[in-house]
Amino acid sequence: MSIQCYLQEWKNFLLVYKFAIEEINSKLTFLSEEFHHTHEHNPIEHLKTRVKDPKSIAAKLERKGYESSTAHAQEYS
């Protein structure tokens, strides 16, 4: 597999997680605003999200003794 294909595979793989995090973040933001208006205070101070860098995921997989692949990332990391 060429390096371009390998990188594109990781980008596509992580895009799904990025979209999922954005959707959850959006829902939590709406709930936070609703709670603030309904109860006059907000238990959620702030939200912070991230998707790990492919290099970090690969390093973690290797530390755990797995091959660096999107299939292993999904199953083991």
User: Any idea which architecture 3-76 has in CATH?
Assistant: 2-Layer Sandwich (3.30)
d(CA 68, CA 76): 10
Q: What is the pLDDT of residue 77?
A: 74
**3-state SS class at 77:** coil
For each of the chain's 77 residues, which pLDDT tens digit applies? 788 888 889 999 999 999 999 999 999 989 888 888 888 777 888 888 899 988 899 899 999 999 999 999 999 87
Tell me if the pTM is above 0.85. no
Q: Is the dihedral of CA 28, 31, 35, 36 positive or negative?
A: positive
Backbone angles phi, psi at 15, to 5 degrees: -60, -40
Instruction: Give the residue from 39, 38, 19, 37 showing the smallest Cα distance to 27.
Output: 19
